[in-house]
Amino acid sequence: MTEVEKILNEYYNSYNEDERLIKDKAHQLEYITTTKYIEKYLKKGDRILEVGAGTGRYSINYAEKGYQIDSVELVKRNLDILKSKITKDMNINAIQGNCIDLSMYNDNTFDITLILGPLYHLYNDNDIKQAISEAVRVTKKGGKIFFAFLPDDAVVISYGIRGKHIKDLKKIVDNNWKVPKIPKEIFATYRIEELQDIINKFDVKELALVTTDGIAPNIAIYVNELDEEEFKLFVEYHLKNCNRRELLGFSSHLLEIVEKV
């Protein structure tokens, strides 16, 4: 086990990933938005690969809907939870593995490839490029690839300002407040253009760039107080505006969707 793998296993062994996307209204927005966009491109009979499947929130959902799913997860605890949810009527194969090595799969195998977590935990350009390369390789031509990533600004807003660590943050950012990727800090963040410059070097075309949780993380206390009718209207507002560039930096999670050409 590498040092990074040890850090991630230790972190997720004490973090409840299984409840992250459902624990309150503000957190539900990420799942609502991501599934909406997956289903925009998903077709009957598609084969889905989820790399960094966590505890299976997405994999199990689509397996229950009858899709053939392959799930790859690095952290054993998460994988064990995922496997505990699999029933005999699901067509799902869940294995332990790393996003930078998908050699267990042939080229051009999957219609939909979900990379909804791995980019959060890659700390150097070589690994980032390798993960993207592998995702593109195993996806069919015309297939769709979903890359979730964390914007730099989320760290400045949440950790620096809301968490009252702006002085500590200043010690590690560069002159433009670019946040470095440091394994012990767990989460790696990106500028939009930084990640797009890497992705665009591959044979893909962009379909959409959206914020999956929008302004919700920054006003969570108010979002969570909405009643069901109000929350439904907030979701409607969010889904109508989640691709507006001026809102992207306020999000904690962004989603780049591309098609392999």
Report yes or no: 32 and 235 within 8 Å, Cβ to Cβ.
yes
| Residue type for position 47 | R
The pLDDT tens digits for 40-91 are 999 999 999 999 999 999 999 999 999 999 999 999 999 999 999 999 999 9
Q: Where are the domains of the chain?
A: 3-152+180-260
114 — pLDDT class (breaks 50, 70, 90): very high
Query: Could you tell me where the beta strands, DSSP code E, fall in the chain?
Result: 47-51, 68-73, 92-96, 110-115, 139-149, 204-211, 254-260
Retrieve residue 153's tokens: 């600004």
Query: From CA 135, how far away is CA 128, in angstroms rounded?
Result: 11
Out of 3.20.20.70, 3.40.640.10, 3.40.50.150, 1.10.260.30, select the CATH number for domain 3-152+180-260.
3.40.50.150
Q: At what angle do helices 192-199 and 125-138 cross, to 10 degrees?
A: 50
The pLDDT tens digits for 175-230 are 999 999 999 999 999 999 999 999 999 999 999 999 999 999 999 999 999 999 99
Q: Cα dihedral angle (196, 197, 198, 202), rounded to 10 degrees?
A: 90
**Strand partners of residue 210:** 255
What was the pLDDT predicted at 249?
A: 81
**Residues whose CB falls within 8 Å of the CB of residue 106, separated by 6 or more in sequence, listed in order:** 138
